[in-house]
Structure 1
Amino acid sequence: MNEGCTFYFVRHGETYFNHYRRIQGWSNTPLRSEGAEDVRRSGRGLADVKFDAVYTSDLSRTVQTANIILEENKHAEDLTIKMMPEFREVFFGSFEGADVDDAWQTIIKEMDYPSIPEMFALSSIPERMNATKKADPFNDAEDFMTFWSRVEQGMIKLIDKHRDTGHKVLVVAHGNTIRYLLNNLVADLVDPEPLLNASVSVANYHDGAYHLERYNEVRHFKDIEKID
């Protein structure tokens, strides 16, 4: 077996739109102080990991998150963040900034489900994304193939650069981006749960396949050690 490479996917910290339960795709709000502290705790738990490269989306909440993680890392002196628009969150079109529950109420009408829980239980991720585009009065929301095409291109770039190097690669992105990406790349990961803010998911790529090591992990969070 070759050396492969390992990807550490970290979701950004909690933002104001997350806190207010507003749809946040390409729209941008900064991390709350509580969100930044969770990222710092996550970074402390990853402090001993020697990353060889760091990538983020081009939205500021992921860049802010990556900078905090690197501040806590013991081996980050020579690392430079590379922003990649391929790793943006799903674009929700005219639903951007809307109340989460209000937006889903509109979308379930398009999908002809009686309730939001039933929609999530009985429909697939691509079906929900395609219905979101149809429910958007401006038709600007991304359907699944539009989203997948750009994110897949981002991963192809990373694989082309890091395959068979043994590198550990930090990718700070978004909840849906990471979740949908791993759902499609990891064969035995089916309908994964939504990701927590500042969580880490680890996947190793070798011999042409992705192998999940951790998903939605927050047990590594580490508080500052108190000195008596």
Structure 2
Amino acid sequence: MTEVLLIRHGETAWNAVKRLQGHLDIPLNATGERQAAALGRALLDEPLDAVFSSDLQRAYQTAQAVAAPRGMQVLVDRGLRERCYGAFEGMMYADISQRYPQAYAAWQARDIDARMPQGEHEAETLREFSQRVIQTITRIVEQGRYRKVALVTHGGVLECAYRAAQGVGFAHPRDFDIFNASVNRLQWCKGRLKLVEWGDVSHLENLDELALDEIDR
């Protein structure tokens, strides 16, 4: 069995104004940096065998706050990236529906095979994204090298893992929170994920700012 701490990155300026990031590489803002530092302090006594991160800097900065105080290196894995949203990336959520009404409707309907228009990057369908996420987590934990591992990543990745652990498909509305800098505990046992604890942000209680939920419900 492997314990998995699935962690969403700290807040970015784009999170704060509801601008879609996807594969665009946006750093933490000052609030996110404070959240990451608080996260690192909270996890300092956890016996982690490895800290993995998406290669996008908002996740990597958060992972560094966990790894550096322990004298550990962050292991970067591109498979932990957020979903690619194509032309939606960089846009305010409120503007997407106006510019791309049909694609926006398919996105909101959670059409698992819908592909957004191409932008700076080619978009992933929800099916492609979910398969990438679960394959990446499986590849990491099935190495058999880790008893407890932290994976620092993105809101969409957390959603895929939660649904896989709970056996809930994407047709079901998202009725669970995905907070910035949250700690979400799962177990990998007998070839599947099992949910243990979700959405822990108790380490952020002494900060002035509330952790934002992932906006895409």
1:137–1:29: structure 2 CA closer, same or farther, 3 Å change rule?
closer
1:144 aligns to what?
126
Aligned residue type for 1:96: E
1:89 aligns to what?
82
Q: Deviation of residue 104 (structure 1)? A: 4.0
2:178 aligns to what?
195
Within the candidate set 18, 22, 34, 1:21 is matched to 18
CA deviation map 1:91-138 (0-9, x unaligned):
01011100112124555544759xxxxx85xx3x4x1x644x24x266
Q: Deviation of residue 195 (structure 1)? A: 1.0
**Seq. identity, %:** 27
Is 1:58–1:88's contact at 8 Å kept on the other side of the alignment? yes
Q: Deviation of residue 203 (structure 1)? A: 0.1
Query: TM-score w.r.t. structure 1 length?
Result: 0.78
Is 2:36–2:181's contact at 8 Å kept on the other side of the alignment? yes
Q: Deviation of residue 156 (structure 1)? A: 2.1
CA deviation map 1:129-164 (0-9, x unaligned):
644x24x2669321022212322221121122137x
Is 2:54–2:76's contact at 8 Å kept on the other side of the alignment? yes
2:138 aligns to what?
156
> Aligned to 1:41, what secondary structure does the other structure show?
helix
CA deviation map 1:201-227 (0-9, x unaligned):
110112333221111210233659xxx
CA distance in 1, matches of 2:14, 2:198: 24
CA deviation map 1:11-60 (0-9, x unaligned):
00111211232110100111111111012112222221110011111111
Aligned residue type for 1:220: H
CA distance in 2, matches of 1:177, 1:216: 14
> Aligned to 1:162, what secondary structure does the other structure show?
coil
Structure 2 alignment gaps of length 5 or more: 208-217
1:169 aligns to what?
149
1:209 aligns to what?
192
2:203 aligns to what?
220
1:205–1:144: structure 2 CA closer, same or farther, 3 Å change rule?
same
CA distance in 2, matches of 1:103, 1:111: 7
CA distance in 1, matches of 2:175, 2:4: 18
1:209–1:110: structure 2 CA closer, same or farther, 3 Å change rule?
closer
Q: Please list, as runs of the form range in 1=range in 2, the aligned pairs for 1:70-109 lying within 5 A after superposition.
A: 70-72=67-69, 76-77=70-71, 79-106=72-99, 109=102
Is 2:96–2:104's contact at 8 Å kept on the other side of the alignment? no
CA deviation map 1:169-193 (0-9, x unaligned):
0000001111122212333796343
Is 2:134–2:160's contact at 8 Å kept on the other side of the alignment? no
Aligned residue type for 1:179: E
CA distance in 2, matches of 1:211, 1:58: 25
May I ask how many residue pairs the two structures share in their alignment?
203
CA distance in 1, matches of 2:68, 2:141: 26
Q: Aligned-residue CA RMSD in angstroms?
A: 2.7
Structure 1 alignment gaps of length 5 or more: 114-118
2:210 aligns to what?
none
> Aligned to 1:220, what secondary structure does the other structure show?
helix
Query: TM-score w.r.t. structure 2 length?
Result: 0.81
Q: Deviation of residue 196 (structure 1)? A: 1.1
For the pair 1:37 / 2:34, whether they are aligned, the reply is: yes
